[in-house]
Structure 1
């Protein structure tokens, strides 16, 4: 939780539509809010799987005061009680990353894409050259207007 190891996976049950993971929290002082994001994530080069628990709300000392996850009154609290369940999601893993990188590299290897990018770059160069010529024409026109107005106003003095 928050990057700190607080327990271990005790049991994994694979069902048709879900996976049920029993986790033992080895630190009795750890309170997990019911409003938490739970994800399984692969980390490290050896694809170690961890369960990330990220609380989604701020906890005050008033919430924690006299909290006992083993008491019957815990069911009404904002914390996960003994033998409670939290629904989690599958987080990031390296297999998804490899698949995504493969799809991107296959799309970038497409010759049609390179032709389109080449045409886009050529048109961008053409447009920028036209823009430079346009700004040069505007500058020339502004200089002519400045000279004309200068002659009119200062010739009368």
Structure 2
């Protein structure tokens, strides 16, 4: 939890649609808020997996509240109690990263992508040339307009 090792996996039960993990928390003083994200994340290329517990709220739980995770009244509190469970999600892993990288590299290997990119660059160059021509024409028109106004005001004064 928050980057600190607080326990270990005690047992696994694999079902067709889920995995039930029993986690042993090393101290009864460690309080895990019920409103937490639980994720499994792969930490290295060698399939080392950790369970991340990420509290979503910053609740201050004082030890003066005397929350004992083994007592019956704990279930009414805002923390996980003994033999209570929370649903987790699969987090980041290197297999997904490799699959995503492979899909991206396959997209860049597609010749249609480069033809579209070349077409986009060619149109961008034409648009910029047109923009330069329009700017030049506007500059010439404003110069003519300025000269006309100058002549008009000087002749009538």
Q: What TM-score, normalized by structure 2, do the two folds share?
A: 0.93
1:43 corresponds to: 43
1:86 corresponds to: 86
C-alpha RMSD of matched pairs (Å): 1.6
Q: How far 1:62 moved relative to its partner?
A: 5.7
Alpha carbons of 1:117 and 1:95: their partners in 2 closer, same or farther (altered >3 Å)?
Answer: same
2:125 corresponds to: 125
Alpha carbons of 1:113 and 1:40: their partners in 2 closer, same or farther (altered >3 Å)?
Answer: same
1:113 corresponds to: 113
Q: How far 1:46 moved relative to its partner?
A: 2.6
Consecutive aligned runs of 4 or more in structure 1 exceeding 6 Å deviation: none
Check conservation: 2:45, 2:94, Cα contact below 8 A: no
Deviations 1:96-140 (A, max 9, x none): 000011011111101111111111111111111111111111111
Check conservation: 2:28, 2:68, Cα contact below 8 A: no
Alpha carbons of 1:109 and 1:88: their partners in 2 closer, same or farther (altered >3 Å)?
Answer: same
Q: How far 1:154 moved relative to its partner?
A: 3.5
The alignment status of 1:28 with 2:51, answered yes or no, reads no
Structure 1 portions without partners, runs of 5+: none
Q: What TM-score, normalized by structure 1, do the two folds share?
A: 0.93
Alpha carbons of 1:80 and 1:14: their partners in 2 closer, same or farther (altered >3 Å)?
Answer: same
Aligned runs of 1:70-81 on 2, under 5 Å?
70-81=70-81
Structure 2 portions without partners, runs of 5+: none
